[in-house]
Structure 1
Amino acid sequence: MGNIQSGLNQHLERLDEIFATRGDYVQTLRFMQQMADNIIRQLVGLPDWENGKVDLAEAADHIARAEYYRWLTYLILLILDLVICLVTCLGLAKQSRLLLTTMMVFGVLTLILSWASLGADLATAVGISDFCVSPDKFLMNQTKDFITADITHYYLYCSQTLPSPFQQALTIFQRSLTTMQIQVQGLLQFAVPLFPTAERDLLSIQYLLNSSEASLHQLTALLDCRGLHKDYLEALLGVCYDGVEGLLYLCLFSLLAAGASCAMLCVVPRVLRRIAARERDYDDMDEEDPFNPQAHRMAARNPGRSNLHSFCSYSSSLGSQSSLQPPTQAASNAPVSEYMNQSVLFGGNPRYENVPLIGRGSPPPSVYFQPFSNAYSPSMRANYLSMTEDQVRHFGNDLRA
């Protein structure tokens, strides 16, 4: 508008020099100058929008960037939760303490991230909810320093019953332009035939007035509340309904992720304790197994513990043999007890079924026959132990014959 004012003043000054001899034309030029000054005053009376100017494109870029990182963060958190669950199930199936311990560490990390995201979502949802309770009052408090309350109220509510605060200024602007155009048209009709040099300046003023009228129509459309009020309502619906609903869903996701992490951190230690107890039981069973070579190596490393297990196994086998021995006559009990004492004294193995006859120090078979039980004496025992395997075999054949 400053360019239009400066151009109009230049043309009016030249026309004032041209129409110096005609007072009526000079008076018309003064009236046109007053109309131009009146238009400038009405435009200056409009609020200073520079103080409340916001670059919506830049704000949209910031919001889009924040939304992208938010989406990426939650996608990574979801993938991490799924991987932890799958690897935890694999560790439970394989009963691997290393996998379960590693997943416990990642579970603690996921738990921290879940609670942090839950806190951030709740804080954002609460802040937006406070704004959505009374958005009109919030905006009026933010703009009260550079925009009057009637203008803010006009845009926030945009009621047909409310008068536009710009109606008076726009009306004066329109009337002043119309008056100036009428005056220029009269000068072109009556003054140009007398002052042909004034036609160029009058046509330039007419062009400036037509451009000002087009700018007036654009300004009227921009100052109308309907377009801005529609955008305001759509923004409120998007933020206060869709935005808060989305934040609540994100809070639910973070809460479920935190609950799953807590459940895993509670279950995995118990599973680890059970796996450790089961491994201890398997180790004890392997140490008691005489056919396990690893048990023999462990017994060689821990002789005291192996002797204890041997004594316990010998006692249990001794008790089982004594319990399974059927009651017989008194004469047959003496050789059996004497044989058991013999096996203990000479280092015999209680499991004597798989040991050779000479190696286990057992008495000759004749001792279990009733007719020869009384003939068994300590001298016979000494002679039997000194005999070789072939001699024992011949001795048994002779007895059977």
Structure 2
Amino acid sequence: MFDWLRTFQIWCSCREKQSLLLLALVGAVFLGLNLVFLGIYLICLCCCKREEESETKRPNLCCITWTAVVAGLICCAAVGIGFYGNSETNDGVYQLIYALNNANRTLSEIDSLVSNTSVQMKVALEQHLARLNEIFATRGDYVQTLKFLQQMAGNIVLQLSGLPVWNDVTVDLSQVAGEVGYVEYYRWLSYLLLFILDLVICLTACLGLAKHSKCLLIVILCCGLFTLILSWSSFAADVSGAVGTSDFCMAPDKFIMNMTQSDLSAEIVRYYLYCSQSLTNPFQQALTIYQRSLTTMQIQIQGLMQFALPLFPTAERDLLGIQQLLNKSEGSLHQLTAMLDCRGLHKDYLDALIGICYDGVEGLLYLILFSLLAAVSFSTVICAVPRAWKHLASRDRDYDDIDEEDPFNPQARRIAAHNPSRGQLRSFCSYSSSLGSQTSLQPPAQTISNAPVSEYMNQAVLFGGNPRYENVPLIGRGSPPPTYSPSMRATYLSVNDDHRRQHGPQFPA
């Protein structure tokens, strides 16, 4: 019958493990759906190319910025919720460990008291009675009293041997507490590192979008995918832990009775689990016999000290030793009665349930919420990174479309500053492009300047960085004065002299 029950319990535990594995697979399914959605989004973004017009560039950049800001805020909120949930779970687990250690300490003290009292009644009392038998050998009534004392001591040892031995239970409790503490330490540390990683990736994302760095965007994309996998993995683990703990908390008494049925009787386990006044103490009879036997022994010892000690003074040492041993046994009886009472162990049991079923489950629920928010946040970041990359690529193309030979192009100025050995920039109206029009275009008289050639050359160097040879004056348009080559200036001066000789001075002095 018991073998069949044990087999059924193992089968049920296997079914529970299968259920928890199915719940863990739910997280894997959500991860797969999330990755499929991101893949479809990226494919649509690559295939559906929008027209890059100047009026639409600024709204797209604003949308990317606000998307990154919202994702960062969601990530910060998720990390805050995760910190709270991790702390609550840790407090609940350590409350469970404290309750287990306290119960373990109580049961160990019970075993220690029982074993010490049994040894005193078997060894120390036997030695005193053996010496007293030699002293009282001539008095038969005193010898009968000593035999009665030995019989009462045997009753006490018999009752103590009937009490349950908690050695196996304490070993199991200490093992459970050690394993739970070991797992909880690394669980708490893992979540702490995950929180730090999420914050670092969020800050890196903001820095990459602010600096317009393509390298940082690639790093953000890879780290975002990795953190997304970690978020859904933590979601699966938290869901499995919360459901498994909730199943235990729905009927913890039944679970404990099934686990301890091979070591303890159902009456004892029920006494400590419920601790109601309607339940009788299963140790009451043994403790009562213990107390009565001890009281009877103390009365007999008092009689021997009163009547036999004047006749046998040498028996005083052994009688006082037995009296002291009985006093210690009485103190052990009071301690044993208090420790075997259900109120102490029942309080530890309730503390353990409150720690694991309230604080622990509440913390796991907050961690589940953290995992969901973190997955949403990093999915948003992954969706924003390709758009930011596309914006940077379009901006680079816009810079590439500008003529590098344009002297007013900032990019050309930067190139000229970093590459001084590059060839000189050609002007808008170069000398080589206007040689054929020198005879048709005559410079107007009002634009003629009598400044020397060196002044024009100095002005050309000031405004352009190198001399330019132009044939169209730009002074009327607010530009620097033009410069001329020596041949152009000679031609211009000859034409001006011919004009003066033909017309002569109109207003003679």
Same-fold status (TM-score > 0.5): yes
C-alpha contact 1:39 1:176 (8 A) present in aligned 2 = yes
**What is the CA–CA distance in structure 2 between the aligned matches of 1:365 and 1:286, rounded to whole Å?**
29
1:167 and 2:284 aligned: yes
Inter-partner Cα distance in structure 2 for 1:293 and 1:356: 26
Question: Secondary structure of the equivalent of 1:160?
Answer: coil
Residue from 342, 359, 363 that aligns with 2:435: 359
Partner amino acid for 2:137?
A
Partner of 1:304: none
Distance 1:179 1:127 in 2: 54
User: Is 1:252 aligned with 2:369?
Assistant: yes
Question: SS of the counterpart of 2:281?
Answer: coil
| Contact in 2 for aligned 1:352/1:360 (Cα 8 Å) | no
Q: Which residue of 2 aligns with 1:211?
A: 328
Cα 1:279–1:294 change in 2 (3 A) is: closer
Comparing 227-236 with 188-197, greater Cα deviation is found at: 188-197
Whether the 8 Å contact between 2:399 and 2:411 is mirrored in structure 1 is no
Aligned ranges for residues 13-92 of structure 1 at < 5 Å? 13-54=130-171, 67-92=184-209
Q: Which residue of 1 aligns with 2:337?
A: 220
TM-score by length of 2: 0.57
Change (3 A) 1:352 1:270: closer
Query: Offset of 1:6 from its aligned partner?
Result: 0.6
Q: TM-score, normalised by structure 1?
A: 0.71
Q: CA deviation at 1:99?
A: 1.7
Tell me which residue corresponds to 1:302.
Answer: none
Aligned CA distance change for structure 1 residues 154 and 161 (closer, same or farther; 3 Å): same
Matched position secondary structure for 1:53: helix
The letter of the residue matching 2:205 is T
Aligned to 1:283: 400
Q: Which moved more, 1:161-170 or 1:129-138?
A: 129-138
Deviation at 1:21, TM superposition (A): 2.2
Distance 1:222 1:132 in 2: 26
Aligned to 1:106: 223
SS of the residue aligned with 1:205?
helix
Q: What corresponds to 2:318 in structure 1? A: 201
In 2 relative to 1, CA 358–33 (structure 1 residues): closer, same or farther, beyond 3 Å?
Answer: closer
State which of 344, 354, 359 in structure 2 corresponds to 1:237: 354
Q: What amino acid sits opposite 1:171 in the alignment?
A: T
Kindly indicate whether the alpha-carbon contact (under 8 Å) linking 1:125 and 1:244 is maintained by their aligned counterparts in 2: yes
Q: Is the 8 A contact 2:145 2:300 kept in 1?
A: yes
**Contact 2:283–2:340 (CA under 8 A) maintained in structure 1:** yes
Structure 1 SS opposite 2:435: coil
Q: CA deviation at 1:55?
A: 8.2
Question: Which residue is 2:214 aligned to?
Answer: 97
Following the alignment from structure 1 to structure 2, what is the Cα–Cα distance between the partners of residues 293 and 216? 97
Distance across 1 between alignment mates of 2:410 and 2:344: 90
Residue 106 of structure 1 aligns with an amino acid whose one-letter code is C
Distance change (3 Å), C-alpha of 1:276 and 1:23: same
C-alpha change, 1:397 and 1:85, in structure 2 (3 Å) is farther
Aligned to 2:271: 154
Which residue does the alignment assign to 1:142? 259
Secondary structure of the corresponding residue to residue 402 of structure 2? helix
Q: CA shift at 1:258, angstroms?
A: 1.9
* Matched residue SS, 1:147: coil
Partner deviation per Cα, 1:267-302 (whole Å, 9 max, x = no partner): 10122123213322331233695876988xx9xxxx
Change over 3 Å in CA distance of 1:139–1:49 after alignment to 2: same
Distance in 2, matches of 1:201 and 1:252, equals: 73
Higher RCO structure, 1 or 2 (CA under 8 Å, sep 6+): 2
Query: What's the counterpart of residue 379 of structure 2?
Result: 262
Report the equivalent of 1:329: none
- After superposition, the Cα gap between the structure-2 partners of 1:291 and 1:181, relative to the gap in structure 1 and judged at 3 Å, is closer
Q: Say if 1:358 and 1:196 are closer, same or farther in 2 by CA, change over 3 A.
A: closer
**Partner of residue 9, structure 1:** 126
Counterparts of 2:410 and 2:294 in 1: how far apart (Å)?
Answer: 113
Shift of 1:252: 1.3
- The one-letter code matched in structure 2 to 1:148 is S
Query: Quick one: structure 1 residues 293 and 125, their matched pair in 2 at CA, closer, same or farther if it must change by over 3 Å?
Result: closer
CA-CA distance at 1:37 after TM superposition: 0.7
Q: Which moved more, 1:200-209 or 1:211-220?
A: 200-209
One-letter amino acid matched to 1:238: G
Single out whichever of 207-216 and 166-175 deviates more from structure 2: 207-216
Structure 1: runs of 5+ lacking an equivalent: 299-350, 367-387
Instruction: Give the residue type in structure 1 aligned to 2:281.
Output: S
| CA deviation vs aligned residue, 1:2-29 (integer Å, no higher than 9, x gap) | 1342111111112222222222222211
In structure 2, relative to structure 1, the CA distance for the partners of 1:248 and 1:197 (3 Å cut) is same
Change (3 A) 1:270 1:294: closer
Question: Match of 1:263, as an amino acid?
Answer: T
**RMSD of equivalent CA atoms:** 3.4
Which of 297, 303, 319 aligns to 1:186? It is 303
Q: Measure how far apart 1:356 and its partner are.
A: 7.3
C-alpha separation between the residues in 2 aligned to 1:294 and 1:28? 118
Aligned length: 327
Deviation, 1:98, is 1.6
Cα deviation for residue 109 of structure 1 reads: 2.6
Residue range with higher mean Cα deviation, 119-128 or 389-398: 389-398
